[in-house]
Amino acid sequence: MATYGYHSGPTTTVEMPAANTAAIAEGDLVKRDGVAGYITPCGAGELPIGVAKEMCAVPTDDGDYTFMVYTSSDTRFVYPPDTGSVTVGLNGLKMDVGGAQAIDIDASTDGVVFVDKARVNENQLIVHFDFNAGYAGV
Say if residue 81 is in the same domain as residue 51.
no
Give the C-alpha separation, 46 to 133, whole Å: 10
Domain match, 87 and 121 both:
yes
Q: What is the pLDDT of residues 17-32, one digit of tens each?
A: 999 999 999 999 999 9
- Per-residue model confidence as pLDDT tens digits over 38-53: 999 999 999 999 999 9
pLDDT of 1 reads 40
- In this predicted model, what pLDDT tens digit does every residue of 68-96 receive, in sequence order? 999 999 999 999 999 999 999 999 999 99
Give the total number of structural domains in the chain.
2
User: Whole domain around residue 54: which residue ranges?
Assistant: 5-70
Asked whether residue 135 is domain-assigned, the answer is no
- Find out whether 83 and 116 touch, Cβ atoms under 8 Å: no
Contacts (Cβ under 8 Å, ≥6 apart) of 96: 44, 45, 103, 104, 107, 108, 109, 110, 111, 112, 113
What CATH number does residue 57 fall under? 2.40.300.10
Residue 117: inside a domain, yes or no? yes
